Amino acid sequence: MIDTPDRAMVQRLLGLDPAPTYRPLEVRRRPAPPPPGADDVRCEHVVLLTADGEVPCWLLTPGRPRGVAVLALHQHGGEFDRGKSEVAGIAGAPHLAYGLRLAQAGAVVLAPDLVGFEERQRGWTADASADEDLDAFHRIAAGGCLQAQHTRDVAVATSWLREEAGAGSRLGVVGHSLGGQVALFAMAFDPRLTSGVVSCGAGTVASLVRERIPHNPSWFVPGLLAAGDLTAVAATLREQRVLLTAGRTDHLFTDDGVRDVVAGFAPGVCTPLFFDGGHELPDDVTRAAVEFLLAG
């Protein structure tokens, strides 16, 4: 049992070294057409080469940067053929193009593919969901977990974005669903991310187990329940700011599980935003997220 939640606890749970040690070994980049209807945003395809493979990203640079750089993490939704391109406004659902919305508002945005999605699809079988499960099982058997891979990849992207945007830029992270889940773990792991938006991506694993709610396999980090569940992960954030949004009728997260996570944050860290709706990202919530991240 881990008694005192701290950043080192998260690092131990995930089996990772300190966040700044994760950096790309090489970077490849090329210009790309801007997202449809966004001629004011410069777009580049960026590939971060790591010891674990390549992390393809879209980099969106506004014409008038406002000193904020944001990692925009995509949802799951079983849509393995889309990832970074949805949040960048290049493909997928327009209401999930929060990365593009941020860039148009003045943030430098880096949208990476999480492992298993878009350019990082595994392609082991004809069933991408079965591939994801198999990948997670293999990692657990080897003493790791899929959440650790996501968190490590975000740390690599954070290291590069910090240099690209300049030392004076404030760093943030935003994600919906899977992206929100990964954003919360990333903030608990990496103090360089000073603000973040967790959209429909937080709840206790205990509540998911109790209600038999199926979720993506990266939720299940070995030792997490004994360490205090996601409530303890939330408690590790001290100097950071989090906007946590949740639909009151979200079928993937119980109300008590979400509120337990909110209660875990230290005073002044978390701003909860509950809305009437389900597992979704309404436009007014997106506007609140953009304003929150631009405020630093």
Q: pLDDT of the chain along its 296 residues, tens only? A: 345 678 999 999 999 999 999 999 999 999 999 999 999 999 999 999 998 899 999 999 999 999 999 999 999 999 999 999 999 999 999 999 999 999 999 999 999 999 999 999 999 999 999 999 999 999 999 999 999 999 999 999 999 999 999 867 899 999 999 999 999 999 999 999 999 999 999 999 999 999 999 999 999 999 999 999 999 999 999 999 999 999 999 999 999 999 999 999 999 999 999 999 999 999 999 999 999 999 97
Asked whether the whole model's pTM tops 0.85, one would answer yes
Dist CA 183 CA 185 (whole Å): 6
Q: How many Å separate Cα 247 from the centre of its chain? A: 18
> Looking at residue 2, what is its pLDDT?
45
**Which pLDDT score is estimated for 34?**
94
Report how far residue 245's alpha carbon sits from residue 239's, in angstroms, rounded to the nearest whole number: 19
Domain range 7-294, its CATH number among 1.10.10.10, 3.40.50.1820, 3.40.50.720, 3.40.462.10: 3.40.50.1820
Dihedral-angle region of residue 182 (phi above 0 means left; psi in -120 to 50 means alpha; beta otherwise): alpha
Instruction: Select from 217, 235, 147 the least CA-distant residue to 185.
Output: 147
* DSSP string computed for 116-138: TSGGG---SSS-HHHHHHHHHHH
Joined tokens for residue 149: 């891979």
- Polymer length in residues for the chain: 296
SS3 percent helix, strand, coil of the chain, rounded to 5, is 40, 20, 40
Q: What is the DSSP string of 10-78?
A: HHHHHT---GGG---SEEEEEEEPPPTT-TTEEEEEEEEEETTEEEEEEEEEESS--SEEEEEE---TT
Helix/strand/coil for 210: helix
